[in-house]
Amino acid sequence: MTRLPQLSRRTLVRAAMLLLMGACAPAALSKPLELRYGHMNPPSSAAGIQAQMFADAVAKYTDGEVTIRVYPSSQLGKMQEMAEATSTGVIALSHNTAGGTGSLYEPFGALDTPYLYRDVDHLMKVTDINSPVMQELNKGLIDAAGVRVLYSYYFGTRNLTANKAARTPADLSGQKIRALPFPIYMTAVEALGAVPVPVDWSEVPTALATGQVSGQENPVNVVLSSKLYESQSHLMLTGHIINAQVIVMNERVWKKLTDAQRNAISKAADEVRTQATAMVQQQEADELAKLKELKMTVIGPEEGLQLDAFRASAKKLVDERFAGKYGNLYTQINAIQ
């Protein structure tokens, strides 16, 4: 019978230490935490680009401990489905307009009220995660839906597209225009003078092609990146909503992260918020010029667009429908300088 070699005390101690290290492996040796981020926009759009920027920044600042896998173009569902999936924790992250986020906590809809902000700088100050308005809304969102805002950025200024010229609200009488399926957006389209038809973004190309709707409203980046110029002949520079895109995370996922991971994700969020806003602002003029090259007829004040008429129409409806709900928020927003 072959005798096994005797192991030295030093070898035995070393083996025991290795076994102990394996049983209590440090976090750095464990698999990266992968989080799913679903959204409705094409990867080439500003929204799609910033989502990937955020994923890259999180991987960088967490040293690969946390990775984010981005699913663009409604791969994980429609807008409302992804908002609800983030609330339940089926996915970790998603983004939506502030009005869309209002489906989880209604007061968020106030942030997308037509003609609310003085300019983009005002919007960014209001939607800064540390502003008193956003802190109040974020607490309500966490309590109501188990979702927290990580950051927001300037998504663009929403304008109207259609297959005819419209210079006043009266010009859109009876016209069916796609609206995001949320109250503040339905009101915004009605304020433009049209009949709002709620259509999820994933269904917009078909709705335009079949004549279910004759127009829609979005920032110029969306009009260009989604090739809406192929089905829409006119772009009206109504500028009716200065838009923030809001990126949210499931609260239970957030709480499971270490303090260092949360700090790293917050750092990534601050960085991408600034970069994405600058990117959208820098591109807007070029994108508008490109749409003109693609033969869209652009109508602004110089071409007879009566902005005062659109503003007056919006103010009337907002006062009737939302002043009672959001009056205090509107006062706080207006006070931010």
The model's pLDDT over 29-56, given as tens digits with 9 standing for 90+, comes to 468 999 999 999 999 999 999 999 999 9
The DSSP 8-state label assigned to residue 322 in this structure reads: T
**Structural domains of the chain, count:** 1
Could you tell me which residues come within 8 angstroms of residue 95 by beta carbon, excluding any fewer than 6 positions away?
A: 37, 39, 47, 51, 245, 246, 247, 248
Beta-bridge partners for 123: none
40 in a structural domain? yes
Q: Calculate mean pLDDT across residues 98-106.
A: 95
How do residues 7-17 score in pLDDT, each as one tens digit?
444 443 343 44
242 in a structural domain? yes
How do residues 116-154 score in pLDDT, each as one tens digit?
999 999 999 999 999 999 999 999 999 999 999 999 999
20 in a structural domain? no
CATH number at residue 248: 3.40.190.170
Parallel/antiparallel/unpaired status of strands 195-198 and 176-179:
parallel
130 in a structural domain? yes
Please give the backbone phi and psi of residue 59, each rounded to the nearest 5 degrees, phi first.
-60, -40
Check residues 257 and 12 and name the one with the higher pLDDT.
Answer: 257
Alpha-carbon distance of 230 to 105, in angstroms, equals 36
Alpha-carbon distance of 78 to 76, in angstroms, equals 7
Alpha-carbon distance of 269 to 249, in angstroms, equals 12
pTM of the model: 0.86
Tokens standing for 334? 């207006």
DSSP 214-243: SEEEE-HHHHHHTTGGGT--EEEEEEEEEE
1 in a structural domain? no
- Looking at 3-17, 158-172, 196-210, which range is the least confident one? 3-17
Res 291: pLDDT: 97
pLDDT over 70 percentage in the chain: 91
How do residues 50-93 score in pLDDT, each as one tens digit?
999 999 999 999 999 999 999 999 999 999 999 999 999 999 99
CB 191 within 8 A of CB 317: yes
Res 24: pLDDT: 39
CB 245 within 8 A of CB 97: yes
Range of the domain at 207: 30-335
